[in-house]
Structure 1
Amino acid sequence: MGLDDFVTTFGQYCRQQFGQRLQKLTLDARFTCPNRDGTLGRGGCTFCNVASFSHEHGTDLSIAAQLEAGKQKMRAKASRFLAYFQAYTSTYEEYAELKRKYDEALQSEQVVGLCVGTRPDCVPDRVLDLLAQYQQNGSEVWLELGLQTAHDATLKRINRGHDFAAYQDAVCRARSRGLKVCTHLILGLPGEGLIEHQQTLEAVLNAGVDGLKLHPLHIVAGSTMAKAWEAGRLQPPTLEEYVTSAAQLIRHTPKEIVFHRVTAYASRPVLLAPDWCAQRWIGLVALVNELAAKGGQGSGLINLNQ
């Protein structure tokens, strides 16, 4: 058995819509973030690796060159691709420059759409209109919003620089234009456990969502959280804790919602903790086993607080 047996995966969604797998090609378009350029702050979110904010750690390749390199690497896995603007805040730039970069990605052969990762407080109407226009012209478009949690106290604690109301507003404006929204959630943030995770899911479902990405909190070198972890003031979730929460959220998610990701891993030496996040398949296998034992997507109770 695999994950496809228990959730609606992004791979399943692509096969239903396109008759084949689509491979996301990750891009670094040299965007910045209001939480690091001084608009909101300079330290970034507490879970971020501050060193990675420097463009010396990025790439000088053009969008087209990055896509071509990605296609060559993934050509054995897929023949059609999505340009994934992942690094930093991919709607946070002058409109003309944003449009230039998006246009360049869509001009690349075999690229059939965009996945645009950003913050809920950085999606002006003009940019949403542009993304909606691409979609109306036949491109596959996903707006990926990094929410992490629906709890304002936690958002403040991790220095996100926005509240849940900003997320609700962004989702309302995006979905009113027909755009698909994928929401990113971190399980295991300081002060949060299963109850808080369930409450976040309920709030996200009530706001309206088309896709979800789940991943465990992991401590990376250079982050503010790394200092707290080194001082013994912070512990990331154990594998058992993460699997319990992720499986519970999956069971309480309607089957029409697409899971783009259900766990994550990082490489040493950037990863400090937890150890299990250094292995790509450990979290996924444990989660599939839990779902096999207790039920998959859409099998949970409506009342998330039970």
Structure 2
Amino acid sequence: MQAPYRMYARHLEGVYGGRVYRVGVDALFSCPNRREDGTGGCAFCDGRGASAVYHRTQEHELSRLGLCRDGIVEDFCSNAGSLAERIDRIRFQIERGKAFVKRRYKAERYSIYFQSYTNTFDTIENLRALFDAALACGPFVEFIVSTRPDCLPQQVVDLLASYTGMVEKVWVEIGLESANQRSLDLMGRNHDIECYIRAVKALHLRHIGVCTHVMLGLPYEGCDDYLATARLINAVHSDAVKIHNLHVCAGTRLDDWHRQGEVCTASLKRHVSDCIFFLRHLQDSVVIERMMCETPSHRRVSPRSFPDKHQFLAQVTQSMETHGWVQGDLV
């Protein structure tokens, strides 16, 4: 049965003839939006970065303790080590990641995913060495790099484009969050909308795919803002999108605002409704890679209780099918 939106898994199956599994790595990058002591950064970021579930060995233990407000999880980017150590770490993570997805899903096709922090925030020499080392552990179907729009100078775009002959597709995931500049300023993003537009244009000129990260439920935002964000993504022809519901991580500025009653997060019902509204205004060619955050519960102040992604996606699908709605029907 045809889904009412362009599902990522079905997109991959259509392109490659089967399932493709991401192998995520943390190459110990930092972020230009944080100071050397770890302070600063975006209002929603707890400085711990995103990482694949099979790399969260320390967090497995912490998850049994409930919400941890004391910053127990170490910020790895503050102690990056030498380039050789980072390469060794990448190789180890790829070996472990491949073993995990092969054991759990019987995977046969893999993509390499530079996932944690800002994965183009380094010298061009270091980037080339790290990317080369990771791709040498292939073969990989796709090469995926997550970063910020202000960390994509032309030499980095050229470097990424140089890998198009080694994989079927090179992708860059760009954090936009919102088309509302006031929201970006409030969240402390320290880039503007034009920066995002320039980055997407530069990547597309080199035939690199773009996945845009957006966040629904930001303070003071509503349907008009979601509509503007969808229209911006349509205008720049972003190839894919990841949707996150606003969530509050312990120890962040957002956490402070939440305690003061200035910020609230969406209920399940509201996030389902917001996602459907967003999807209906998004061109039907845009691949939907994600629709909710997966931050571990011991780091998440709010929402404390939220269904797993399969239950959430089932609710989105059921509601759209019941009403006869599909992605892009309001574009």
**Same fold per superposition (TM over 0.5):** yes
- Given that 2:214 and 2:243 are in contact with CA atoms closer than 8 Å, whether structure 1 keeps it comes out as yes
Shift of 1:47: 0.4
Report what 1:141 is aligned to.
170
Shift of 1:79: 1.1
Report what 2:181 is aligned to.
152
Q: 2:133 corresponds to which letter in structure 1?
A: E
Of 91, 95, 113, 1:68 maps to 95
Return the alpha-carbon distance in structure 2 between the equivalents of residues 282 and 193 of structure 1. 24
- Given that 2:169 and 2:209 are in contact with CA atoms closer than 8 Å, whether structure 1 keeps it comes out as no
With 102-111 and 172-181 compared, the bigger mean Cα shift is at 102-111
Report what 1:33 is aligned to.
31
- Given that 1:239 and 1:276 are in contact with CA atoms closer than 8 Å, whether structure 2 keeps it comes out as no
Shift of 1:57: 8.9
Instruction: Go from structure 1 to structure 2 and tell me whether the alpha carbon gap of 1:93 and 1:295 turns closer, same or farther (over 3 Å shift).
Output: farther
Q: 1:54 corresponds to which letter in structure 2?
A: D
Report what 2:200 is aligned to.
171
Q: Which runs of 5+ in 2 are unaligned?
A: 50-73, 81-85
Shift of 1:254: 2.2
Shift of 1:296: 4.6
Shift of 1:137: 4.1
The answer as to 2:264 corresponding to 1:199 is no
Shift of 1:263: 1.8
Return the alpha-carbon distance in structure 2 between the equivalents of residues 154 and 100 of structure 1. 36
- Given that 1:217 and 1:237 are in contact with CA atoms closer than 8 Å, whether structure 2 keeps it comes out as yes
Return the alpha-carbon distance in structure 2 between the equivalents of residues 219 and 257 of structure 1. 28
What SS class does the counterpart of residue 62 from structure 1 fall into? helix
Q: 1:167 corresponds to which letter in structure 2?
A: Y
Report what 2:149 is aligned to.
120
Q: How many percent of aligned residue pairs carry the same amino acid?
A: 30
Instruction: Go from structure 1 to structure 2 and tell me whether the alpha carbon gap of 1:299 and 1:125 turns closer, same or farther (over 3 Å shift).
Output: closer
What SS class does the counterpart of residue 50 from structure 1 fall into? coil
The residue correspondences of 1:230-245 to structure 2 (distance < 5 A) are 230-245=259-274
With 277-286 and 142-151 compared, the bigger mean Cα shift is at 277-286
Return the alpha-carbon distance in structure 2 between the equivalents of residues 161 and 227 of structure 1. 20
Report what 1:45 is aligned to.
42
What SS class does the counterpart of residue 184 from structure 1 fall into? strand
- Given that 1:216 and 1:264 are in contact with CA atoms closer than 8 Å, whether structure 2 keeps it comes out as yes
With 54-63 and 64-73 compared, the bigger mean Cα shift is at 54-63
The residue correspondences of 1:252-291 to structure 2 (distance < 5 A) are 252-277=281-306, 279-291=308-320
Shift of 1:264: 2.3
- Given that 2:297 and 2:304 are in contact with CA atoms closer than 8 Å, whether structure 1 keeps it comes out as no
Q: 2:265 corresponds to which letter in structure 1?
A: P
What SS class does the counterpart of residue 242 from structure 1 fall into? helix
Return the alpha-carbon distance in structure 2 between the equivalents of residues 285 and 220 of structure 1. 26
What SS class does the counterpart of residue 275 from structure 2 fall into? helix
With 14-23 and 166-175 compared, the bigger mean Cα shift is at 14-23
What SS class does the counterpart of residue 161 from structure 1 fall into? coil
Report what 1:87 is aligned to.
116
Report what 2:16 is aligned to.
18
Return the alpha-carbon distance in structure 2 between the equivalents of residues 209 and 192 of structure 1. 22
Instruction: Go from structure 1 to structure 2 and tell me whether the alpha carbon gap of 1:255 and 1:11 turns closer, same or farther (over 3 Å shift).
Output: same
Report what 1:54 is aligned to.
75
What SS class does the counterpart of residue 126 from structure 1 fall into? helix
Return the alpha-carbon distance in structure 2 between the equivalents of residues 299 and 159 of structure 1. 31
- Given that 1:276 and 1:283 are in contact with CA atoms closer than 8 Å, whether structure 2 keeps it comes out as no
What SS class does the counterpart of residue 25 from structure 1 fall into? strand
With 74-83 and 144-153 compared, the bigger mean Cα shift is at 74-83
Moved over 3 A (4+): 50-53, 56-61, 136-139, 276-282, 295-299
TM-score, normalising length: structure 2: 0.84
Shift of 1:51: 5.5
- Given that 2:48 and 2:75 are in contact with CA atoms closer than 8 Å, whether structure 1 keeps it comes out as yes
Shift of 1:282: 3.9
Report what 1:101 is aligned to.
130
What SS class does the counterpart of residue 105 from structure 1 fall into? helix
Cα offsets for 1:213-263 (capped at 9, x unmatched): 111011111211011111211101121221111111112222221111122
